[in-house]
Amino acid sequence: MNLTSCNISDVDREAFRPLRNLRTLDLSKNTRLGFNTLGDAFYSLQGSALEHLYINWITHPYAICVVIDTNHTRYFKNTKLQSIHVENNRIEIFTPGALDNMPDTLSFVSVSGNRLVFGSYLLELGHLTNLKTVTNDGHLRPPYPPISSPAFSIKPELCESSPYASESERGCHRPLGSDSGEFQVFPLDMDNSRPYD
């Protein structure tokens, strides 16, 4: 079931009860969902056939100090999950016991794009006897900042040279042509509150 980018912010704990044969669930890119809601939603997935879970980008892109605790994972133990993709959620640490709630069937975890720090939770990985692969690229992907707003702007040269900008995003500071019928974007000089010359 693909529920990506649906602006989901709340899921009733009984929402998935009728879906006993659901094998794959993708809740990615619902940045208002968060781990509190996800943990409660898993209540109705206990004993289901769910094997693959995608929960990438379910926290606010500017969230700080995202901690996964036992309340977030308490219903995972009674599932048949084999893989979990929890990328780009700005996770920094797991509290003691949070990983102990993972099911014995878990063999693959992807945590790339998070802010994981060294901690005692790493010892709990040894309790996951079927875990074969953990991917972590060690790179936090910064959210795309706004190009300009009353209180914030990016210098044109930073936008142009950003390694995170795709080819279509480069040149984002350039004014739009007057014949396009659209407004022009001029980054502001924060010291003088005026457009760059």
Measured between alpha carbons, how far is 96 from 119 in angstroms, rounded to an integer?
10
* Average pLDDT of the residues in 133-150: 67
* Average pLDDT of the residues in 164-186: 42
* Average pLDDT of the residues in 177-183: 42
Confidence at residue 164, expressed as pLDDT on a 0 to 100 scale: 45
Does some domain include residue 46? yes
Does some domain include residue 107? yes
Structural domains counted in the chain: 1
Does some domain include residue 77? yes
Q: What is the CATH number of the domain that holds 53?
A: 3.80.10.10
Nearby residues of 93 by Cβ (< 8 Å), 6 or more positions away: 67, 68, 116, 117, 119, 121
Residue 132: pLDDT over 80: yes
Torsion, CA 164, CA 166, CA 169, CA 170, rounded to 10: 80
Does some domain include residue 103? yes
Confidence of residue 90 (pLDDT cuts 50, 70, 90): very high
Measured between alpha carbons, how far is 159 from 151 in angstroms, rounded to an integer?
17
| DSSP, res 78 | T
* Average pLDDT of the residues in 134-153: 63
Percent of the chain with pLDDT over 70: 70
Helix (H, G, I), strand (E, B) or coil at 110: strand
Domain range enclosing 130: 24-135
Does some domain include residue 151? no
Does some domain include residue 1? no
Confidence at residue 142, expressed as pLDDT on a 0 to 100 scale: 62
Confidence at residue 29, expressed as pLDDT on a 0 to 100 scale: 96
